[in-house]
């Protein structure tokens, strides 16, 4: 078997992004651009993967984490050719083909790369470059062919003559090259172009003039090879990727009532026969079970949602777990660390944070539950507040099974309410309550008959 090395170029800042952040760290469908490219490359099972880093090298390296990936530092970004030169020490003992891809082409698939490598090997060429026909060749390098259709060279937009600019065949920035030729050619690059950079693209003309077998391979799907250079291109590609993800999940048996308004991150999973309403955002590592219903206007991030869960209109849920048959919303806020046991119900204007809500327990209206553990079959009345913060520290509240918390209760943590307690309405509970008790605050209720009329008369006199 021929050996295969992969080089991923990811050192550039990406000037046209006008960002303090390295371009490959910008996200598409919630995932850094580079992660997707790297994933496509690793699935080829190459002998070696080297990522060229420069701008924010530490962050980029952290992102690539995991075995099998090596790094080469390009200290100064002097062009794509200079970037590949930086990997040479990693390939000193290597004989075979090197696949070069850019870290800013996130829709690239393993299938396309594989087909490209196969064609390179089948034809036994020294250099293959992957190209595509675009209606609008924009700022891509143009592929110039000779009269007999053979590839001759690649010309960057900024260096191109008018006739060359009219060419619609573009360089995707993906190459497969014999290692020995590659490193020798890189040594011969000259920065004689509009940008004063060492262009990797110049190795094509070098191979041709040396009489080495060279080919341009057309990509079947031009949508896959788009590079991101600006925020606008990022936004356009996000649209493309979102359309793909929606189609994928619909094909897998998920109903999207208004697909264009559902936003799905790369790592989200959704179970069969789940129905998702308009304006739903599924972010991060969210997983959604089967036969769920999400009514709409939901922002759900890093949540684990079981089967047959009903999420009513308008909620924000983050880093939380929703057991099977739970119900949340409308207008609910589950903050990080919330765990809802099966059949728990969280209703309107309820906020829950870092809390466990037991099976079949309900908090249906206007409550704040923080740093709390609640048993099963309990009911949290309207207006209940866990006072978890004393201005210095957070404290925990424990509420047992079958506890009935009356409306307008304040629970001053740290506190434990044992099983089967009844808390009367409008009680401030400051001490632990033993199982089976009733707890209330003594207060006298007074009624002054005729008070309103007397008061109004008095006020009228003042005028
Ligand atoms: C490059 C190609 C162009 C092609 C296009 C495809 C060159 C000269 N041009 O242009 O023909 O059509 O890709 O998308 O190669 N990088 C480094 N170090 C550097 C410069 C760049 O690591 O010194 C990395 C960038 O981080 C990026 C990739 O190389 O991931 C491509 O660089 P970019 O500046 O985007 O090249 P393009 O102008 O798009
Ligand atoms: Ca680019």
Helix (H, G, I), strand (E, B) or coil at 245: helix
Specify the pairing of strand 142-145 against strand 151-155: antiparallel
Mutate which of 101, 193, 227, 230 for ligand 1? The one with the most ligand atoms within 8 Å of its CB, which is 227
Q: At what angle do helices 33-42 and 110-122 cross, to 10 degrees?
A: 50
For residue 107, the model assigns a pLDDT of 96
**CB within 8 A of 266, min separation 6: which ones?**
28, 29, 30, 31, 36, 241, 245
Mean pLDDT of 308-322: 98
80 C-alpha to center of ligand 1: Å?
Answer: 6
b/e map of 313-341 (b: 16 or more CB within 10 Å)?
Answer: bbbbbbbbbbbbbbbbbbbbbbbebbbbb
DSSP 29-64: TTEEHHHHHHHHHHTT--SEEEEEEBTBHHHHHHHH
Question: Is any ligand 1 atom within 6 A of the Cβ of residue 51?
Answer: no
Q: Could you tell me the pLDDT band of residue 244, with boundaries at 50, 70 and 90?
A: very high
How far the first Cα of the chain sits from its last, in Å, is: 102
Sign of CA dihedral 414, 420, 424, 425: positive
Distances, alpha carbon 416 to alpha carbons 23, 269, 348, 411, 427, in Å: 51, 38, 25, 9, 15
Instruction: Pick the residue whose CA is nearest to atom 5 on ligand 1.
Output: 173
Question: What is the pTM for the complete model shown?
Answer: 0.93
Q: Ligand 2 center to residue 103 CA distance, Å?
A: 8
pLDDT > 80? residue 1? no
Which atom belonging to ligand 1 lies closest to the Cα atom of 229? 35
Closest C-alpha to ligand 1, atom 8: 199
Average pLDDT over residues 326-347: 98
| Mean local confidence (pLDDT), 36-53 | 96
Q: What is the pLDDT of residue 68?
A: 83
Contact in structure between 64 and 38 (CB atoms under 8 Å):
yes
In a 13 Å sphere around the CA of 10, the CA atoms on its Cβ side amount to 33
Is 288's C-beta closer than 6 angstroms to any atom of ligand 1? no
Residue 263 pLDDT class (50, 70, 90 cuts): very high
pLDDT band (50, 70, 90) for residue 70: very high
Task: Please write the tens of the pLDDT for every residue from 92-120.
Answer: 999 999 999 999 999 999 999 999 999 99
Does 66 have pLDDT greater than 80? no
Alpha carbon of residue 332 to chain centroid: 23
Pocket flag, ligand 1, residue 244 (CB < 6 Å):
no
Please tell me the predicted confidence (pLDDT) of residue 2: 86
- According to the model, what pLDDT value does residue 299 have? 98
Q: What is the pLDDT of residue 463?
A: 86
pLDDT > 70: percent of the chain: 100
CB of 171 within 6 A of ligand 1: the answer is: yes
Average the pLDDT over 138-146 and give the result: 96
Rounded distance between C-alpha atoms, residue 444 and residue 173, angstroms: 81
Check if 365 is active-site: yes
* pLDDT (mean) for 259-265: 98
- 43 has a pLDDT exceeding 90: yes
Whether 65 has a pLDDT exceeding 90, the answer reads: no
């Amino acid at each position: 078997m021929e050996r295969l090395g992969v080089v991923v170029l990811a050192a550039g800042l990406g000037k046209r992004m006008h960002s303090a952040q390295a371009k490959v760290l910008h996200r598409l469908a919630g995932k850094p651009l580079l992660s997707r490219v790297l994933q496509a490359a690793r699935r080829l099972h190459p002998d070696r993967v080297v990522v060229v880093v420069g701008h924010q090298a530490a962050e980029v390296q952290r992102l690539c984490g995991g075995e099998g990936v090596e790094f080469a530092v390009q200290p100064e970004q002097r062009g794509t050719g200079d970037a590949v030169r930086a990997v040479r020490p990693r390939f000193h003992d290597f004989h075979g083909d090197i696949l070069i891809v850019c870290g800013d082409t996130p829709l690239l698939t393993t299938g396309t790369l594989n087909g490209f490598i196969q064609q390179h090997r089948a034809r036994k060429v020294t250099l293959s470059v992957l190209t595509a026909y675009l209606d609008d060749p924009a700022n891509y390098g143009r592929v110039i062919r000779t009269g007999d259709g053979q590839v001759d060279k690649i010309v960057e937009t900024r260096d191109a003559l008018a006739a060359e600019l009219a060419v619609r065949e573009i360089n995707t920035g993906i190459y497969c090259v014999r290692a020995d030729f590659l490193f020798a050619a890189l040594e011969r690059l000259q920065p004689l172009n509009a940008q004063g950079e060492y262009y990797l693209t110049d190795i094509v003309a070098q191979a041709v003039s040396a009489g080495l077998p060279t080919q341009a391979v057309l990509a079947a799907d031009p949508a896959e090879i788009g590079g991101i250079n600006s925020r606008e291109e990022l936004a356009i590609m996000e649209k493309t990727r979102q359309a793909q993800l929606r189609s994928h999940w619909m094909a897998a048996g998920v109903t999207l009532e208004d697909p264009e308004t559902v936003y799905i991150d790369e790592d989200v999973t959704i179970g069969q026969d789940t129905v998702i309403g308009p304006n739903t955002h599924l972010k991060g590592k969210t997983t959604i079970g089967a036969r769920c219903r999400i009514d709409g206007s939901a922002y759900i991030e890093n949540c684990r949602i079981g089967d047959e869960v009903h999420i009513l209109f308008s909620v924000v849920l983050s880093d939380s777990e929703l057991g099977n048959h739970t119900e949340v919303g409308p207008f609910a806020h589950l903050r990080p660390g919330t765990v809802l046991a099966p059949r728990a119900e969280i209703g309107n204007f309820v906020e829950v944070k870092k809390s466990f809500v037991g099976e079949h327990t309900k908090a249906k209206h206007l409550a704040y539950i923080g740093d709390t553990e609640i048993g099963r079959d309990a009911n949290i009345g309207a207006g209940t507040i866990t006072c978890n913060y004393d201005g210095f520290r957070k404290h925990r509240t424990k509420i047992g099974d079958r506890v009935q918390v009356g409306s307008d209760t304040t629970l001053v943590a740290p506190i434990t309410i044992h099983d089967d307690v009844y808390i009367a309405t409008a009680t401030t509970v400051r001490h632990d309550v033993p199982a089976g008790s009733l707890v209330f605050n003594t207060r006298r209720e007074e009624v002054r008959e005729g008070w309103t009329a007397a008061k109004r008369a008095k006020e009228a006199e003042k005028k």
